[in-house]
Amino acid sequence: MRKSSLLKRSISEFCVDGILITDIANVRYLSGFTGSSGFLIITKNRPIFVTDFRYQEQAKKEVKSFKIIIQNVELTECIKKLASKYRIQKLGFEAHSISYQTYKKLLRDNIKLRALFDTVEALRLIKSREELSCIKTAIRRAENAFKKLRRFIKVGVTEHELAIKLEGLLREEGCKNVPFGVIVAAGLRSALPHAQPTNKALKRGDFVLFDWGGECDGYYSDMTRTVAIKGRYLQKHKELYSIVLNAQERALKAAQPGTKAALIDAAARDFIAAQGYKKHFGHGTGHGIGLAVHERPVISWQSKDTAEEGMVFTIEPGIYVPGFGGVRIEDVVHIKKNGLAVLTTLPRNLKVL
């Protein structure tokens, strides 16, 4: 069944006459459109795809089973005309994707609106065979790039130089886009979970944290590895790394079909807390990945999600000690019918340079 057809079935459930999809990742998921400008209106009778003049030829090639309309008026005016034409009296919209200004304009046009949450995201939770194949390719590209980077990781090279090099290697591997700015953080800066690369040069005794991802046909991967450079802190490095690795292994073991995401998070978090580092692990243990780098399911203490067959997400516990450094180990996993598959293959043991 087409994804848009699945959404049509929800129209009556939401008590609306049509659903407006403006999140570009959701537009792509439902229609196959890979451009950067377009929206959908899903009605009970037919799905409509709207874009502008720049993408009319691309839309003809990519968008099937949708009525294609080329927008030639302002956004809210276009929506108003379509609502009138297709007798949409109450329109559902993605609450996270519409600006307040657009919302107010639509209200002024006397369109009844209903905010919808996780409408398409709920469909995206379970990855198809094709989606899984793309994610696996994105992983392979990211891993191959990092393997090529290893010989450049040495004392004297800067975080920025390594980040630029890794980004170039990702593109050489076939990534049309880099999912997010490559993170390289050395020494004290590795205690910053999302540090931006600087001109800091690597030196002896540094932890060096790398967080990067690959891409394939719009789908992403995300992984983190931390290495140590020999120096006076090596024993402490090994101690912290061992705790994080142990925590990750516990979370991996817990990640089974039917397990609540909060319990997967607790498997890692409780172990880290028991080792005395509770206050040094403040982010979630993982997140879904697909057309977005961060999507559902959410693997955290606050999550209401449950691991289900077909889900793909990360497991990435960490410890960040201000004034010393930090460790994070991140892998991508796939929930299968009978258990868990770890999709990333880079070694998880501490690499000492």
pLDDT tens-digit map of 27-44: 999 999 999 999 999 998
| Mean model confidence pLDDT for the chain | 95
pLDDT of 176-231, one tens digit each? 999 999 999 999 999 999 999 999 999 999 999 999 999 999 999 999 999 999 99
Task: Tell me the CATH number at 159.
Answer: 3.90.230.10
Query: Do residues 250 and 285 lie in contact, with contact meaning Cβ atoms separated by under 8 Å?
Result: no
pLDDT at 2: 60
Shared domain check, 190 and 75: no
Distances (CA, A) of 147 to 20, 28, 65, 240, 329: 43, 32, 42, 24, 16
Residues 166, 77, single domain; the answer is: no
Tens of pLDDT, residue by residue over 86-143, are 999 999 999 999 999 999 999 887 789 999 999 999 999 999 999 999 999 999 999 9
d(CA 72, CA 66): 18
Alpha-carbon distance of 148 to 168, in angstroms, equals: 11
CATH number of 83's domain = 3.40.350.10
Instruction: Identify whether the C-beta of residue 218 lies closer than 8 Å to the C-beta of residue 124.
Output: no
What DSSP element (H or E) covers 172? helix 159-172
Based on the fold, state whether residues 118 and 147 are members of the same structural domain: no
Q: Can you state the angle between helices 129-149 and 159-172, rounded to 10 degrees?
A: 130
* Tens-digit pLDDT profile for residues 308-341: 999 999 999 999 999 999 999 999 999 999 999 9
Reduce the DSSP state of residue 46 to 3 states and report it.
Answer: coil
17 and 93 assigned to the same domain: yes
Q: Are residue 147 and residue 58 in the same domain, yes or no?
A: no
User: What is the reported pTM?
Assistant: 0.94
- Reported as a pLDDT band with limits 50, 70 and 90, residue 46 is confident
Shared domain check, 20 and 90: yes
- 113 and 155, same structural domain? no
* Residues 307 and 285 reside in one and the same domain: yes
d(CA 183, CA 197): 6
Specify whether the CB–CB gap between 162 and 197 falls below 8 A: yes
Specify whether 272 is located in the same domain as 341: yes
Residue 94 structural domain: 3-124
Q: Are residues 48 and 186 in the same domain?
A: no
Q: How far is CA 161 from CA 77, 142, 156, 254, 327, in A?
A: 48, 17, 10, 38, 21
**Number of domains composing the chain:** 2
Same domain, 215 and 313: yes
pLDDT band at 24 (very low <50, low <70, confident <90, very high): very high
124, 147, 175 - which closes a domain: 124
Q: Are 199 and 68 found together in one domain? A: no
